[in-house]
Structure formats: C-alpha cells, structure tokens
Amino acid sequence: MSAYPEGHKHLLENLNPEQRAAVTLPHESALILAGAGSGKTRVLTTRIVWLILTGQVSPHGILAVTFTNKAAKEMLTRISSMLPINTRGMWVGTFHGLANRLLRTHYREAGLPQSFQILDSQDQLSAIKRLMKAMNVDTEKYEPKKVQWFINGHKEAGRRARDAEAYDEYSMRMAELYEAYDAQCQREGVADFPELLLRSYELLYRNEPLRQHYQDRFRHILIDEFQDTNTLQYRWLKLFAGPHTALFAVGDDDQSIYAFRGANTANMAEFEREFAHGNVIKLEQNYRSHGHILTAANTLIAQNTHRLGKNLWTAEGDGEPIRIFDAYSDQDEASFVVDEVRALNREGVNLSDMALLYRSNAQSRVLEHALFSASVPYRVYGGLRFFERQEIKHALAYLRLLTNPEDDGAFLRVVNFPTRGIGARTLEQLADSAARSGASLWQAACTGGGKVAGFARLIEDIKAATRDLPLAEAIDHVIESSGLADYYRTDKEGADRLENLNELVNAAALFSEESEEGTLKDSDPLRAEARVESYALDAFLAHAALEAGEHQAGAGHDALQLMTVHAAKGLEFHAVFITGLEEGLFPHEQSTLKGTSAHEENGLEEERRLMYVAITRARRRLYLSHAQSRMLHGQIRYSLPSRFLDELPEQVLMHLNRRSEPSYPSSVQQPDSSYSTKRQTQTGNDTGYKVGQSVAHAKFGTGIIIDFEGRGADARVQVKFRDAGTKWLALAYAKLSPA
C-alpha cells in the first residue's frame, strides 16, 4: 500500500487486488473486463475520484459516458459523496446527452439555431408524414414508418442521404426523402435523436481546431457498458481521444445483448487492439451470487466461441443447487412458480426480492393470470401488464364495438387505427353531428358517408363473420380483419406486439376452457337458445377489465417483479425464476433460423449471452422451468427443453421432477386444436410410441413426436427435432429410441 499517496489510501480500502489495479492505473488506456456482480460501477466511480484527488486531472478534464440517464445520475451522486466538489460542470452523461451538450455549446459551427428543438420518435414520424404530404408521395408504397427506419438506420451508421445505398427505384426514392427530410429539419431548426450523435460527430470530424480543443481538454475518457456501443458511438468517442488521452473502457462481452439495437461486440476487441494494446484487467470476483449459480453461468457461456474470456468466482461458498422444474403445460409451470413464490414469501423473502423472467413479453400473460388468481401482488418492471399494452387495448376496443357499437371510447381508439385516412377534422365534425342529434359516434358514422361510414361497415362485416365462431377463433379473425396484424407485421419493432396479440387468442382459448368448455350457461331459456359466443365475448371482456384492474401493486408496496430478460440486465434478486426454457422460446426461434452459418452462430451466441445475463441476476436461489406443452396461437404445441439446460453442469442441478410424457389438457381434444382428436386418442396404438414422447434418431438427434398415422408396418410418425426441423419417418426404418 505504500506505493499509494498516504492521504487517499481510504479510497482503496475493501477493494480486491484487480479492482485496486484498475482504480490506480497510471496514465494509459485499458480495457476493464468486468463480469456480472464484480463491482464495476464502484471501480469506475472510484477511478474518477482517485484521478481527481491524486491531482492527475481536474474535474474539467474528465469525460465519462454511460448508457442511461439513471447510470449517469448514480455516478454523479457517488462522486459528490466522495469529493467536496460541485459536479454540475462535469461532462458525465449518456451519448445523446453529451452530444446535445456539445451542439448547444457550438451551435453556430454545427449549423443549428441556439434554441434548436429535439424531436422524439413520434414527433419525427409526424414530421416525415407532413413532408410526404407536401411532396405528394404515395404513402402506401413508401410507408412513413419505413421511411423513418431508413433515415434512422443510415444516421446510426454514420451515413447521410448522399452516402445511402441506393440501387433501385425504391431505395433511390427513399434516399431522396431522407435528403428532403434533412432539409426540412434544417429549415425548422429541429434535430431528431440519431441526428444529435451524427451531427456532433460530423462537427468534430470536420472542425480540426475544435477537435484539437477537446482532445487537449479531456485527459481521461471513461466509458461504461462498452459492450453496448454501436459503430457510430465508438467512432464518436475516438474523435475525443488525442495522443495524450487515456481511455478507460469498462464492459463485459458476455453481457452484450443489444445486437438488435446495433450494439457491436467487436468494438471491445478493436478497442484492445487500437488503444489498450493488451492492457486488460479482468474483474472476475463476484459479490452477488453463490458458487453453484456462477458455475452454471461459466459453463454455459464457455459454449460461445467469440469471447475475450473470463471466469467468475466467489468467496461465498457453493450455496443451494439450481432447481429444475419440468412442467406438463404452461399453466402447470405458472402454478409451480406461484406456489414457490408463496412458500419463499412465508419463509421471510420479500416479494420484491424475487424476479420472474421470460424471453418475450407475451409469456407474461399466463403468469399474470396465475398470480392474479392467487392474489399475489406483482409489478411488471419496465413495461406494462398484459391487458394494458397498446396492441391489446386496440384489439379489445374492436371487440367492445362488436358487442356494443355505442361505446364512443372504443370507437375513437380504433376508428383510425390502423390508419384509414380519417383525420382529426373529420372526427370533430362527426362528434358535432352526434352531439346535435343526441346520438353516439357510431350512429352518426352509420348515417353519414365517406371513410367513417366505411369503418362502420368494416365492424358490421367482422360481426357477421364471427357470429358463429368460437371465442378464440372470433378474436383471431378480428385481429386479422381489423388490419392490426398486418400493421404490426410491417412494423420494425412489431414482433413483440404480434406475439402479444397471439397471446390474447390463447387467453380467450383458456378462458373458454375454464368456462365450462366454452359454453357460458344461462338460466333464461330464451337467452340459452341464442348463440353463446356473444355472451362469452362479454364475459371475456369483463375478465380482461378485471385483470387489468388494480391488482398490480402500487409504488412502495411489496410485489413480485416480472420482466423480460433484457429488462433484468443490471438488476439482482434473492430468488430468480427463469421460465419458458424451451427450444423456439429461449433460444428464440428467430435466432436459430437457417441462414448463413455465421448469422446462425451469432444469433445463437446472442441468445446464450442473454441466458447468461438471466442466470447471473440470482443471488441465492435460481429456478429454471420449461413446459412440455404450451398454448400458441390458440392451439396446443409441444416443445423440446431448451438446449441451454443441456449445457449446464449436472452436479449443480436439482431436478424437482422428471416426466417422460406430457398430460393432455382438455383443450387438446377440441376440434380446433393443433392435433385432431383421432390422433390424440391414438396413444394406445400398436407402435409403442405416443404423441408428446421424446425420441432420439441417429442422424437427426433428439425430438418430440407430434403426430402419427397408419398402423403396423405402415406406421409413420411426425417428429419435431431440435436441430433438424420437423420430419415424417417410417417407423419400420427410422430406428427411433426413447430419449
């Protein structure tokens, strides 16, 4: 310790040797490979304080970049508590926040008015629509949303309209619109979010004296979550780095899970070559999790090939084994989770110290239903409860109009969603007309003409088409016929919303099953003669309203935390449940789609990193669960357990149950299920095999039987293999064995 300045030794107390080495680095660039729970925020903050207190740099000479405003605030609060200085003037913030600061300071050089306004995503879309209207552009051929993606995609890659890849009539027109949009923004003195970073990058790139000024000023640049940087952000950082600047990049390539946002994991390896020159400090001691959890995480992530490499360890001991639950169905899985949560809570673990994780938002619905039914308070972290999500509320509004067209709230919500060219002025006139005659908006629309009358006809057509359909099928028809499904199919970020809409169909199928096989009894014989579906719909809408009610815990109340794995990054909990560990769900089917081998590998490695993040959220107890059958699109589907379960070391696992074959819920027997009644009841056939049974094949690997036909020597089975897809096999030749 004698090598350190006497007056500042207190800063280094309670730091492990690697943390201390990172904090006290001399004036040189370095990559800090900081594993989950290794104290990276503490290291980053202490490094800044150490540099200032030891007189190596003034607060003025530090540039610290974070990814969220929350992280920037936390960093400044910590610095303030350790240093007797005003941190207000320090350049600590997000990429966009610091880019905005740079442009405000040098607005003239950047070609912007002093009071330029920032457009959020919705403002930007409105500006694009206004531009396209003025240019008389066909919005069906050139959808405003796609124009927005084109513009932002190029900006985030550092390309202006003149540099855009334009190789046909369509892309050339898109580039023209990008150029016209830029000109409009310049005229109006506004900048969208991607513009902030691109404009500030261009400013520094072109203006050598200004670039020199900042390179001389910032002696130390520190970057948090470096693995999440995209190509432009890295290029932007490099412009601030002069020959005498030390860059301190903190990150974990194993936790890079934002490739879909443009994050480039290769930036870490590139940084090591360009700046660190092999000066890498690994923070591997974990202060969060017990040993078995870390062993599982280490073993899993070792399957990834493109890693910088590290191995988490703890001084805390092995702790409890990881609990594996093999559920018959998604409802069985949800019941198990609820039972375990209640048991842990009775043992003294706060609900808020437990997290329920899932790969996609749509999975929350079954879990929410089980929690609601058991009166367990919960909170959806970083998102909305299922029935509060935008796309679900849209679909419910269409359903409400089917049962009660006088519902003005439902009418206004969807009359122009998806867009039908019905403007605000038209709706004002419609409302005036309705008010004058004391009628509903629906009545006014039906007696009027034009596009609002067209909307009323659409609702009537949907009503007629769904009159004789079971509830789940009717809702599926509404989602398609209303245009909601097509709208989200063409939306760049619509995949999750589509999954949620499919889950609404599942909710209806389950509701029908729980409501006496889909028939809601009525004591009135006159009503009993009528089609039950309308009453089923009313009852379902009431059910949705109740589940969307006040059950989610309010702020400050103890509540179970529900979230996607992406939302869980950076958080930790006493007990963590990772659900839906099935092939196609986690890893997500999109990641394993056949394409180039490189694309396939990258997609799977990203999913594995996501699983690694999920595992490392747990401090003491970890549950992993999967379901043999799950309802998807209103139909029962059978799945194989996730390959990630196979990649965990057996010695740290405790199997709570082992099941050879699934039970079949009553809904499987319904005619609209994915497999016909005939085939589901053939489980006692002469082949010795059953639907839902796991089997192994010498060439295709492991799979699950999903269908079969024929008997004796002619018997064939349809097997869904984990890696080889779905295949029909003749049993006489296939040589299958139970798996």
In which residue are the tokens 């927005």 written? 148
Distance, in Å, from the CA atom of 168 to the CA atom of 182, rounded to the nearest integer, reads 21
Which residues, 6 or more positions from 632, have their beta carbon under 8 angstroms from its beta carbon?
502, 506
In which residue are the tokens 């470096």 written? 226
Going by DSSP bridges, is the β-strand pair 701-709/618-632 parallel, antiparallel, or unpaired?
unpaired
Distance, in Å, from the CA atom of 585 to the CA atom of 364, rounded to the nearest integer, reads 13
Distance, in Å, from the CA atom of 231 to the CA atom of 29, rounded to the nearest integer, reads 20
Cβ atoms of 366 and 360 within 8 Å: the answer is no
∠ CA 89-93-94, nearest 5°, is: 155
Distance, in Å, from the CA atom of 387 to the CA atom of 401, rounded to the nearest integer, reads 17
C-beta atoms surrounding 580 within 10 Å: 24
Q: For the chain, give me the number of helices (H) and strands (E)?
A: 29, 21
590 to 583, 609, 630: CA distances (angstroms): 11, 15, 18
Which residues, 6 or more positions from 9, have their beta carbon under 8 angstroms from its beta carbon?
1
Q: What is the DSSP letter of 415?
A: T
> Which residues does the annotation mark as catalytic?
40-41, 224-225, 255, 617
- The number of residues making up the chain comes to 739
* Partners of 277 in beta bridges: none
Cβ atoms of 22 and 279 within 8 Å: the answer is no
* Partners of 62 in beta bridges: 220
Beta strands in 35-121 (DSSP E): 62-66, 91-94, 117-119
Residue 331, burial from CB neighbour count under 10 angstroms (0-12, 13-18, 19+): buried
133 to 138, 139, 450: CA distances (angstroms): 9, 8, 20
SS3 451: helix
Chain Cα centroid distance, residue 300: 21
Distance, in Å, from the CA atom of 731 to the CA atom of 729, rounded to the nearest integer, reads 6
Rg (CA), the chain: 29
Specify the DSSP element, H or E, that contains 249. strand 246-251
Specify the DSSP element, H or E, that contains 694. strand 694-697
Distance, in Å, from the CA atom of 325 to the CA atom of 514, rounded to the nearest integer, reads 25
∠ CA 457-458-462, nearest 5°, is: 115
Distance, in Å, from the CA atom of 391 to the CA atom of 361, rounded to the nearest integer, reads 12
Distance, in Å, from the CA atom of 616 to the CA atom of 73, rounded to the nearest integer, reads 24
Distance, in Å, from the CA atom of 250 to the CA atom of 252, rounded to the nearest integer, reads 7
